[in-house]
Amino acid sequence: MAIEAEDGRVLVVQLGMTGSMSIDQGRAPSGMQARHRHVLWALEASSPPCDAPPSAAPRPIEGPWTLAFRDPRRFGGLTPYATLHDLRTAWSQLGPDALGIRSRALAANLLRTGRPIKAALLDQSVIAGVGNIYADEALFKSRINPLRPANRLQATEVTRLAGALRTILSKAAAAGGSTLQDYFDALGNPGSAVQLHAVYGRAGQPCVACGLPLSSCLVTARTTTFCAHCQDLST
């Protein structure tokens, strides 16, 4: 996420796994919201419209309102850029946005690597915006074993995978994200996408499709949950 300031500078907010931005009004945040706050901004009203008298200075919003960056596990971070152009240069290293990924673009990038498909999906230069939860969910939905070499997938499988990524990420965003422990949106509300998880966090429990117990293993040091029956490695 990028915040563009009026003077052209840009601040990139990387939430990492447990980071969040929260807005609080009029009261000091307490409990979970008050812990692990690394940066705090005091907010004031935006500049007056151009036709306002010159004396009209920005007025504080009734409050005080604050914007806070919290990051309990410190996988996130804040990165300033002098201009929007600098930001675009940095983001040009990223792969296509997973929310709108098309099968042709995904196939072209997967062809470049023989790593397991799970590892390729987590590589932000291959596809941007997929983390551990949604990589597992998309591979399950498209019935692809996470250990399959990325450059060996059939065209029909890549099409299924691209469709699964778009669908799962859209549904998860609409549900406010996955609150596992302490993820909250800017107003302190948890997300309910955990209820949509078919495999993530469910190792040993029955597969929602075939009823057999779900398996788990490590791929690039990340816990990976899948159904060895529905996501056959020998396919």
Residues that bind Zn ion (CB under 5 A): 207, 209-210, 227, 229-230
Least Å from the CB of residue 220 to Zn ion: 23
Q: For Zn ion, which is the closer residue by CB, 135 or 207?
A: 207
Number of residues in the chain = 235
Q: For Zn ion, which is the closer residue by CB, 11 or 209?
A: 209
CB-nearest residue to Zn ion: 207
Q: Answer yes or no: are the C-beta atoms of 102 and 127 closer than 8 Å.
A: no
Q: For Zn ion, which is the closer residue by CB, 40 or 210?
A: 210
Least Å from the CB of residue 218 to Zn ion: 20
Nearest to 12 by CA among 91, 120, 127, 70: 91
Q: Where are the beta strands (DSSP E) in 32-167?
A: 37-43, 65-70, 77-81
Coil, strand or helix at 169: helix
Q: For Zn ion, which is the closer residue by CB, 128 or 147?
A: 147
Least Å from the CB of residue 229 to Zn ion: 5
Half-sphere exposure of residue 27: CA atoms within 13 angstroms, side-chain side: 4
Nearest to 231 by CA among 199, 202, 195: 199
Q: For Zn ion, which is the closer residue by CB, 53 or 204?
A: 204
CB-based burial label for 188 (10 Å; 0-12, 13-18, 19+)? middle
Helices (H) and strands (E) in the chain, counts: 5, 8
Least Å from the CB of residue 221 to Zn ion: 25
Angle value at C-alpha 124, between 120 and 126, nearest 5 degrees: 50
Least Å from the CB of residue 209 to Zn ion: 4
Q: Which residue has the tokens 């990165």?
A: 79
Least Å from the CB of residue 213 to Zn ion: 9
Coil, strand or helix at 92: coil
Q: For Zn ion, which is the closer residue by CB, 132 or 225?
A: 225
Identity of the residue numbered 104: R
